[in-house]
Structure 1
Amino acid sequence: MKYYLLLGALIISVCSFAQVDTTRLKNLYDRCLDFSEDKIDSIHYYAEYISKEAEHLHYNRGNVLSLRLRGIYEDLSNNYEKAIEYYLQSLEAARLIHAPEYEMVALSDLAIAYFAIREPEKAKEFYLQCARMSEADGKIPSLINTYNNLAVIYTQLKQYDSSRILLEKAVQLGRPLERKGRISLASTYNNLGNLYFKEKKYEEALPFFKQNLIKHTRDNDLNGIWVARLNLADVYIEKHQFDSATMYAQSAMELAQRLESKSKEADSYSMLAKLAEYRGHFSKAYNYIKKWYALDTAILHSDTYKTIAALQERFHAGEREAENKLLQEKVEKETIHSRELTLVAVALAIIGILIAIGFVIKRNAHRRLQATNDLIVQQNEKLSELNYEKNSLISIVSHDLNTPFATIQVWGQVLQNDTTRLTAEQQKAMNRILQAGAYGEQLIRQILDVERADIGSHKMQLEKFELKAFAEEMIDQFKPMAAKKDIRLHVEALGKKLFILSDKYLVSRICENLLSNAIKYTPHGKNVWMGISDEHDSISIKVKDEGVGIDKEELPYLFSKYSKISSQPTDGEASYGLGLSIVKRIVEEINGRITCESEPGKGSVFTVILKK
């Protein structure tokens, strides 16, 4: 069932239409928004009625209301092409009379319709327009609703960062109102949980689903409880915590049966099948899938059964009318009876054809889906094999290349130490050879860092350490490198001690790369700063330089693998386009984020935000 409640509904009693005015037309429109799918014919009737009366009363908003009701009628009839046409006309009419509240409603209707026909990009376009208008309007509940809807679109498009930003905005705006009991953010928390689940961040998803379960249990919201239990079961399945997953999946099934909801029961069977498959109980999984299929097929044909019921009701009405006529005209009895039998036979034949067609369509769709799934599995297996071969080749080549570079380093140092036998020019050449060897070894290590999954497989070692002392250690480590270019290194930190719980090794790697880059791209005699600051529930690490800077157009590609930018090191140092991509991977591994602000000729500032 679909509901259109964006502007709210006011239920009134319409007793007579003899003295219709514009207020009653508006109230009648509001009442239509509450009609369920079984009253869609009434929506169509009232759409025509409002149009005629509005024209008679010269009510300029009547055309907007009538067009929207026509769109809702077509939408509920699953005629999306016609619905979109009416919604577009409603949008145009709202803009013509400068009615922003109806313009936002039309934009939302269009987004919902395009989402239903699986065109999320088009839906996003209309939701973005709606969001801009909601922000200008300043009504927080409407803005939160728009952010939620838009976030769902972004999640479906796998644009997870954009989805997260919108949901965090919704939480920030809604919390003050939620504390006062004026709104509920349950749908926002559920969307945040689903977002983390899509990103396979199950630990982050878990608290949101648990929070919603507690809230819905407190409010005795059985539908909400069912959704929360099913989400928790899904998370625990992915975490391979099968006892917890079983508890939530079975309780979700019990609640679905209690609610007598076939769709909820079907989804619960699907979750139990997934759980059984993960546990290796394939016989159980098969039985659950059969139950899911039986329910899903029943739901698929529910519209057909409604049609059958309507046909039967019309038949019974005809039968009653025939009985009345029998009392009046006994002569026509046999003719009327024969006609009724013919209608029954035709109705039964139509019913049989509809059921057969529905079964064939469902079976063919299932076969195509199975074939597609088999092809995807085969392609994934092939990609895994190719990826494994690629990683093996990289490891072999890197290992073989490392040996000659190590040999160059060893013998070069032997020759360099024997200064009595080398002229000044030869000594300079030997320094160049050793430098080239070191660059070669560094390049191999960075290629391995980027191409292999060693960062992701690094066993996280969390420890609590003080950041000011850590920053001073990092600066001391790079003083020899900076001294060669007469660059002054500085530490900026608060007087109080600031601690963080994280992997010190990975944080060190982040800072090493950023400080190394800052020194490379800073001219002689300039400055480089490393700053530490407190950001409430996070800490900020900034590395700032007075270097050559980066063009604005190149900033979006800064953290890509092997990216080459126009900026060059100031003293001929080597740059391979790998360091910042490694930094981004490490930052994401410890649940942080990194940004860069830069301007050519004025230096750069890299900021890393990490949770405390």
Structure 2
Amino acid sequence: MNLPSGYNGKLYHLIDEVNRIKFSEPQKALELANFVYVQSLKSADELLEANCLYLLGVCHEILSSYPQAMKFLSEAIKLAQHLGEKKIMGDALNYVGVIHDNLNNYSNALKAYFRALKIYEDVKENKKIAIVLSNIGLIYTNIKDFRNALKFYSHALDIAEEENDSESLLITNINIGLTHSQLGNFEEALKFLDDALEQAKNSNDKRRTAIAIDHIADTNIKLNNKEEAFRLYEESRKLKLELEDKRGLVRLYGTLGHLHLVESNLVEAKINLEKALELATELGIKKSVHELHKMLADAYEKTNNSAKALYHLKIAYRKELEFLKEEAEIHAKNISTQLEIEQAQKEAEIQRLKNIELAQALEDVKKLNVNLKDLNNEKNEFMAIAVHDLKNPLQNILSTARILKRSAELPKSEMDEFTTNIINQTDRMFNIIKKLLDHNAIDQGELKIIISHFDLNALCKELISNFREEAERKRLELVFEEAPGETNINTDKVILYEILQNLVSNAIKFSSEFKRITLKVYDEENTIKLEVIDQGPGFSEEDKKKMFNKFARLSAKPTGDEHSTGLGLSIVKKLCELIGASLKLESKVNEGAKFTILLKK
């Protein structure tokens, strides 16, 4: 940066000082940045103001003041865009990504990182590119996609070594060490983490020194070197308190609480977990709040304090529902940066090729890659549902059963609440498993078609009767309008029931109270027409393009905390094809939906 002379030149030198001490003395850096910011406003120096806004955001992020950090970073981005200062924009966007990552908002984090990466590529800031690539890799580590994580770290490490940049080397070494530790490659993990710790200490980067120490301690726990691990945790605790690193303390106290809980050191466990919970609640880290309440419920259960255990378990249930809703919406596995990069490279290569046959061959490869990507996404989604969505209700059932076993004299209202929870969680698991098995049977061609002759009106009455209680629970009006007389049809009765069951279930799930859901049957000359009509949120044009895909996530959300696998409409489409029925949708956003099924008699 070409610094202006005079007073403003001195202010720019103070900016350099903020950058130098922000990790070692963040509070002092914040005070200095505030001073320079006020001076920038007085001198009407917009470039200085943009730099100050960015650094104020960074200092607040380091001090875990996330709302303040986002406010300053957003203002920095706007001003930098106005001034055409792309580097400041990229720096601010990178820290926006860091904040979202800290709060487990991985989708928003990746969006910010992508924007920063594009800017850094435009201005050829290779050192910054390495940092962003390493940050993206960390997200993949957090969601346990280690293969993609290591790809990004490898790319980041190559750039960092080529540029001989100590900061990006430090960040990447920490992240690679963390990933190897989680993979069980402990010797490799310690090699990278020890290098990172030495780099952090040499550069007086206290924040990253503490992070490296944490990961080295975690790895020692896995190696059963508990004495060394606790010594390192204490060293890290002192650094975090000095830096006022609240998020770091949430992680540290939570880890210590968990370790003491496993060792049945219940007094120490509760002390550390309560400290972590207080800070996590203050910072708004929902995932940590949920996990800490669950651990505290376990701790109090082990000390036979049923009242406290019930208190924390109730909150854990509520927080889990909130967290699962958000997690489903921000699932970062739907975003594969590596595939996007490879796809862009292939497209660029095709443009350069003049040989039509070679271009066609590459296009075929590209299509094959898209198919493989779809298959990989389906596999990831299947595993996410099977592991994550089944694990959580099982854990809840186990915890509830333990509480009930220890609490023989619970009031009837609380006993009913907990037994109802067990029933609901079991129903949820059953429905998930049924949907997955149904879809797999269809894909594998294992579903046999059994044609029978039956009265469609009677089948629909049975269906409506089975859904009546669920509809009334949500204060919905469920109406059946039958065709006159007997409406006989030849088709697979079980499959047709499954089609209608999925459509009516979806209508109930996505309708708000006091709405109407109608099932109509029309007996026409050569065909039978069925309609399922609701007054729900309807489908957007974007929804209509993907609504019949497996695991589709549409814009509408269930209105009563119900679970959605994204398989229902995909199953309906495939089942209709199996019995030769046509399926049509008429819908607009906020105007409900009408599904029409046409069957030959």
TM-score range, shorter chain: 0.3 to 0.5
TM-score, normalised by the number of residues in structure 2: 0.40
Larger radius of gyration: 1
